Amino acid sequence: MFEKILAEKVCESINSLYQQTVSSDLVSVQKTRKEFIGDFTVVVFPFTKSSKKSPEITANEIGDFLKAELPIIKSFNVIKGFLNIEFHESEWVNFFFENKNSITYGTDENSGNSKPIVVEYSSPNTNKPLHLGHIRNNLLGYSVANILKANGQNVIKVNLVNDRGIHICKSMLAWQKWGEGESPESSGLKGDHLIGKYYVLFDKHYKEQIAELVSTGISEDDAKKQAALIVEAQEMLLKWEHHDEEVIALWKKMNAWVYQGFDVTYKRMGVDFDKVYYESETYLLGKSLVEEGLQKGTLNKKEDNSVWADLTADGFDEKLLLRSDGTSVYMTQDLGTAELRYDEMLPSKMIYVVGNEQNYHFDVLKLVLKKLGKDWFDAIQHLSYGMVELPEGKMKSREGTVVDADDLIDEMISTAKQTTEELGKTNDFSQAEADELYRMIGLGALKYFILKVDPTKNMVFNPKESIDFNGNTGPFIQYTYARIQSVLRKAEAQYNSEEVLDAKEIALLPKEKELLRLLYEFSQVVKIAGDILSPAIIANYVFELAKEYNQFYHEIPILKEPNLALLKFRLHLSAFTANVIKISVNLLGIEVPERM
RNA sequence: GGUCUCAUAGCUCAGCUGGAUAGAGCAACAGCCUUCUAAGCUGUGGGUCGAAGGUUCGAAUCCUUCUGAGAUCACCA
């Protein structure tokens, strides 16, 4: 890496010129801004303390040293405290030859040997269909897993399905009462949507009952607890915990419907898992951990038999871990599944892709594990992503403002179809080819729209404005790829990726140099994205790359270039760019078409 | 009320551990298809980086205070 070589040489120069030692990671080597001549810029302000000279003089002295020591440097110039260094063009051409044909360029293939990283994402409830918030979660989890793999990590993707609890009992009860045996087959509804329908129905009737009770003079809080429906639902949950055959059978039937529905949505989103956990199978695990904590005296039991962790010393409150009736809460379950996961896979890290509304939960989770003496507590990393909001604020299922995942995907694909047909792009496509293209573009637009935003930040989605296909979008990037493929197809006679080109014939134009420069940065982009778990880094990079290529494409002729060596170079440069575009978007879970 | 996050162009967002004159896209306006795919390219306008202090050679970035928005603090998950 050029930056590393430069940084180390700069340290040497400080040592040699001023007899001072500087650590190489304190040296700031950055890309030279376009308005100046050079490839890399060293900021010399920090070294003026060592040199006791002005920034300009210091920069010149370091520049002289570097130039004398490193033959790869062609020239340097100094502007204020900035030392701009220009490499010989051959360095960039060499970089090009070394990497242009690598289908794994920028990624680390040495995976599999290290301790695994577990990435948990999706983690749906089985009482309603997935919505836009889940889409962000799924796309993030899937992409982060890809990015970690590209960084040489052994990644295990897991899903923890929240398949038990009062919420699913509500749907079950409503279906029992008013469903009249309705099934996905009889209704034509997708299983998860069918269940969601009864969850909403439950809530509707429940609210009516509450209102009725309130009108008889009962307080709202009491009404919420006394309403017949909620009491019945709780009875059902109790029956479930006691393995009541009828309830279990109903539960299995309805969950199966939901899973059929989820599978369709997962498949359409293009996400998958290496392992699926079901909370119904793991929810009891936490209890033994809590018992252990009680024995050790790190947890305490109150008079009513409820068990608590006292976290006041760490600036938190007390946290309930077992209810007075001995049943476990969300936190208890998470303690159990965390330990199960750790014991099963001995991971170096356990990443949980969970919304930022649960920041407190994860702080407490780690703290309780620490209290319980689990020294691996720090392996837990909460990838806390921001909410997807509507222009008027948070999505609310009660107000019907939730953007349904399936609906949105349908809309994206049909918009892609309409737009593509208007442009006449698929006139010579077969129906199957065309449909595949619409799917790719629609999903590409959606995925890019979600993933280009910094995961930690809340983002806004306006349902009234459809997601764009022009500008900083997925289809723009897909289009650039397809455009390159088109050129390569036209150049069949001149293009052979294996052909050895003559480096001496190649003189880089500014746009070509900039393209190469961007391609060079890719491996660092992958590394940063992996370090901070941010697909947005990749998304913004690949947009930049596509934009740069389009400028090159418009400015410089490829197939009409009279010099055959240059023509071939540009074809290979185009192919290299297409390759990096493909690798990049694949990290985001986006596919690229050969034609569009 | 306690804790935590966020605030950058009309809108949606970049701006990596502090570095040169804060960038894109959309929207608006003006151009470019007898020439490799116009889902493209070029140009114009648009900013007190929420406000005020501070640290620094240097602050959108770090610290403090204030304003505004949001999250969270359940014997819910």
A108-137 residues near strand B (Cβ < 7 Å): 125
**ipTM score of the complex?**
0.96
- The residues of A between 512 and 541 with beta carbon within 7 Å of nucleic strand B are 528, 532, 536-537, 540
Find, among A270, A258, A274, the residue nearest to A195 by Cα.
A258
Question: How much is the pLDDT for A111?
Answer: 61
Confidence of residue A114 (pLDDT cuts 50, 70, 90): confident
Q: Is pLDDT at A525 greater than 70 in this prediction?
A: yes
CA distances from A178 to A92, A100, A167, A195 (A): 70, 63, 17, 12
* Sign of torsion over alpha carbons A345, A346, A347, A350: positive
Residue A413's pLDDT band, with cuts at 50, 70 and 90, is: very high
Which of A202-216, A407-421, A435-449 has the weakest average pLDDT?
A: A202-216
Task: Give bridge partners of residue A158 from the DSSP assignment.
Answer: A120, A275
Token look-up 């794994």 returns: A104
A388 CA to B42 C1' distance (Å): 35
Cβ-in-10-Å burial (0-12, 13-18, 19+) of A59 comes to: buried
Mind listing the pLDDT tens digit for each residue in A584-594? 999 999 999 99
CA distance A312 to A319: 10
Of A127, A257, A249, the C-alpha closest to A189 is A257
Domain A2-87: give its CATH code. 3.30.1360.70
* A182 and A195 Cβ atoms separated by less than 8 Å: no
* Residue nearest B37 (alpha carbon to C1'): A483
Q: Is the dihedral of CA A341, A344, A350, A355 positive or negative?
A: negative
Of chain A, the percentage scoring pLDDT greater than 90 comes to: 82
E-strand stretches of A54-169: 73-79, 82-87, 117-120, 155-161
Which residue is listed with tokens 């003189």? Answer: A507
Average pLDDT over residues A149-175: 94
Nucleotide showing the shortest C1' distance to residue A354 CA? B77
The pLDDT tens digits for A254-290 are: 999 999 999 999 999 999 999 999 999 988 889 999 9
Give burial (CB, 10 Å; 0-12/13-18/19+) of A247. buried
Strand B and A96 CB separated by under 7 Å:
no
Residue A80 has pLDDT above 90, yes or no: no
On the question of pLDDT at A363 being above 80, the answer is: yes
Whether CB of A490 is under 7 Å from strand B: the answer is yes
Which residues 408-467 of chain A have a CB under 7 Å from nucleic chain B? 416, 419-420, 423, 425, 437, 441, 452-454, 456-460, 462
Instruction: Kindly state the average pLDDT of the residues A333-344.
Output: 94
pLDDT for residue A140 is more than 90:
yes
Distance in angstroms: CA A207, C1' B62: 51
Residue A85: what are its φ and ψ, rounded to 5°?
-115, 130
Straight-line distance from CA A555 to C1' B41, in Å? 9
Question: Which residue's C-alpha is at the least distance from the C1' of B57?
Answer: A45
Confidence check: pLDDT of A112 > 70: no
Write out the two tokens for A113: 């040997």
Could you say which DSSP state residue A165 is in?
S
Within residues 249-308 of protein chain A, the ones with CB less than 7 A from nucleic strand B are: 279, 302, 304, 306
Mean pLDDT of A287-301: 91
Distance A467 CA to B16 C1' (A): 27
Average pLDDT over residues A533-562: 96
Asked if strand B contacts A177 at the CB level, meaning under 7 A, the answer is: no
Per-residue pLDDT at A572 exceeds 90: yes
Task: Over range A481-505, report the average pLDDT.
Answer: 92
Q: Is the confidence at residue A570, as pLDDT, over 70?
A: yes
A595: which nucleotide lies closest, measuring CA to C1'?
A: B37
CA distance A81 to A79: 6
Strand B contact nucleotides, protein CB < 7 Å: 2-7, 11-17, 19-21, 24-27, 35-42, 57-58, 70-77
Evaluated on CA atoms A389, A392, A397, A401, the torsion sign reads negative
Q: Evaluate if residue A401 carries a pLDDT over 90.
A: no
pLDDT above 80 for A398: no
Q: Quick check: A482 pLDDT over 90?
A: yes
β A155-161/A82-87 pair status:
unpaired
Q: What does the pLDDT read at residue A273?
A: 98
Between residue 345 and residue 374 of chain A, the positions with Cβ below 7 Å from nucleic chain B are 356-361
Residues 17-36 of A with CB under 7 A from strand B: 28, 30-33, 35-36
Residues A7-19 have a mean pLDDT of: 93
- Nucleotide with the nearest C1' to A544 CA: B24
The reply to whether the CB atom of residue A320 sits less than 7 A from any atom in nucleic acid chain B is yes
Protein residue at shortest CA distance from C1' of B6: A457
Residue A109 has pLDDT above 80, yes or no: no
Overall average pLDDT of the A407-434 stretch: 95
Task: Tell if A494 CB is < 7 Å from nucleic strand B.
Answer: no
* Residue A113 in this model has a pLDDT that exceeds 90: no
Where are chain A's structural domains? 2-87, 165-277, 405-587
Q: What is the pLDDT of residue A464?
A: 87
Tell me the pLDDT band of A308, cut-offs 50, 70 and 90: very high
What is the average pLDDT value for chain A, to the nearest integer?
Answer: 93
Position A206 scores a pLDDT of 92
Report the percentage of chain A scoring pLDDT > 70.
99
- Mean pLDDT within A112-131: 91
pLDDT tens per residue across span A191-213: 999 999 999 999 999 989 999 99
Q: Is the pLDDT of residue A423 over 70?
A: yes
CATH code linked to domain A405-587 = 1.10.730.10
Quickly give A262 CA vs B38 C1' distance in Å. Answer: 40
